[in-house]
Structure formats: structure tokens, C-alpha cells
Amino acid sequence: MTTSTNNIPAIVEIGRTEARDTLRQRWSNYFVLIYAAVCLIIAINLRDSILNATVRYSDVATGIRANYPANWLVDDDGDYVFQVRDASRVGFKTAIIVDVQPLGLATTTRNLLDALSLDRAQTLSGYRTLEIDETYILPDGSTGTAMLYTYVNAEVNPVLQTFPTIVEGLDVIAVRQEQAIIVTFLADARTFDEERPIFERFLNALEF
């Protein structure tokens, strides 16, 4: 609204007076912010605890104890100590396999790696060793051996139309009293690095 004196236009600004929050309102605002932050932290923690929840596995015969991710399918009927895989995952099912193999007096870890490579080359399409690290530091501080490799995984059912998946695998080998413990991590090569922390946590909790 405008008024004039002596035909001189005058400007009157009409606006809302900035009312000051009361002390209670200010504290309310602070509490809301704090509450939201706490909820966020709790939610993140809950999510993490769900995602990182583990289940205890122990094998009396080999003395192996491990914590594997919850809701992963555990299988101990194969020619390994046990295997867990993420059955809910869409696409290649990320898996961790624990196996124990005897070592002769003259057998070296390198011999074992060669044997693994030869076996896999017979059965896995496009199998190729990418890298061998003979100074891999195990969670207990000792030195083990790690072998990074890749292959192409294809559905065995010939009737289904499935695209092959490039899989990246990591073997971590530790030698204990004339036997080698081979812990293998298998994942889609596109998500291998993203999922590797799952394997690291598994390895950290592994007792043998």
C-alpha cells in the first residue's frame, strides 16, 4: 500500500516482523535435529549390523571355526570343508569356500597353486591366473600366499539361455602343520572389489 504527502510518493514497507523463537522452541528444534541424527546413526548401525550379521560355523574334524555372513546358504556336502554363498544375490552368487589339503614334506605352496591351476584349467572356461602374492599378510600377522585368478562361469543347464559371467577369484593359502587351508573368495568381476570387505571380515574371524 502506498500513501503520499505533498504528492511525494512514499514507500511504506509492510512485512512480517521477525519474531524471536522462544527458548522452548529453540530447544525443540535442537532436539528434533539431534533426534534425527540419532535415528540416522541408529539406522545406519542397524543396517550395518544386518548387513554384517554373521553366523558361527565350526567343523570339529578340521578344527576350523568361522563367522560367515547371515542369510548365506551354507553347504558342507561337497569336496570341501564348507562353502557359503549369497543365494539372494542377483546374478553370480558370491561365494566363500574353505578347503583343507594335505601337504607332503616336499610339497610347497607353489606346488599347491600349480595343482589348483591345472585342475581349474581343465574344468573352468577361460581360466587364467592374474597375480600371485607370496607375502600376503594373514590376519594373525603370519605370511601366507594369495592367488588372484579369473574364469568364465556358465550355467550348466543347457536349456536355459544364460549369459556367461566373468568371475574373479582369490585364494588365500595358509600352511599349518602339514596341511594347507585354502580360503577362496569368488565374485562377479564387476563387483569383486566392492564385496571384498565381506571376505576380509570372514578371513579376520577365521580360526584354524
The site for another protein (CB under 8 A) is made up of 55, 70-77, 87-93, 122-125, 155-163
Compare residues 38 and 43 and give the one whose CB is closer to another protein: 43
Q: How far is the CB of 78 from another protein (least distance, A)?
A: 9
Q: How far is the CB of 131 from another protein (least distance, A)?
A: 23
Compare residues 3 and 161 and give the one whose CB is closer to another protein: 161
Q: Which residue has the cell 602339514?
A: 178
Compare residues 84 and 138 and give the one whose CB is closer to another protein: 84
| 100/90 Cα distance (integer angstroms) | 29
Which cell numbers hold the place of 183?
580360503
Q: How far is the CB of 124 from another protein (least distance, A)?
A: 7
Compare residues 65 and 89 and give the one whose CB is closer to another protein: 89
- Contacts of 147 by beta carbon, 8 Å cutoff, 6+ apart: 113, 116, 117, 129, 131, 132, 133, 170, 171, 173
Beta bridge partners of 29: none
Q: Which long-range contacts (CB under 8 A, 24 or more apart) does 33-39 make?
A: none
Could you tell me if 57 and 65 are in contact, meaning their C-beta atoms sit under 8 angstroms apart? yes
Q: How far is the CB of 56 from another protein (least distance, A)?
A: 12
Compare residues 41 and 74 and give the one whose CB is closer to another protein: 74
Q: How far is the CB of 92 from another protein (least distance, A)?
A: 7
Beta bridge partners of 65: 58, 207
Compare residues 94 and 109 and give the one whose CB is closer to another protein: 94
CA atoms within 13 A on the CB side of 74: 16
Q: How far is the CB of 42 from another protein (least distance, A)?
A: 21
Distance between first and last Cα of the chain: 85
Burial state string for 4-18 with b = 16 or more CB within 10 A and e = fewer than 16: eeeeeeeeeeeeeee
